[in-house]
Amino acid sequence: MNNIAKSLHAKVHTWIDSIGFRLNASQTNKRKNVTTNHYFFETFNFFERSNPNEPEKSKFICFDQYGEKMKVRSLLDLQSAFFENISQLK
């Protein structure tokens, strides 16, 4: 299971770098050693919550076109939500 999670973290970061997402904000909870990063591109936003010592346990959350919170379990989930959101732009 760890290999899947590690590859998801790597795949997501490779993809967001290739698309051109920008880091909007980053907050660190020093007590829990958890960092929350907010990324955006045009009108699409998503959050990554991670422990710097255990990137394989990173969690990603994005929002669908209706503003509903959606957990990202695969790169395809994130890409689908992104392209649906971008296709709504006029």
pTM of the entire predicted model? 0.82
pLDDT at 6: 57
Domain that holds residue 40: 2-87
The domain tally of the chain equals: 1
Q: Tell me whether residue 55 is exposed, middle or buried, using C-beta atoms within 10 angstroms of its C-beta: 0 to 12, 13 to 18, 19 or more.
A: middle
> Tens digit of pLDDT for each residue in 25-50?
999 999 999 999 999 988 888 999 99
**Positions in the chain short of pLDDT 50:** 1
> Please, what is the Cα angle at 56 between 52 and 59, to 5 degrees?
85
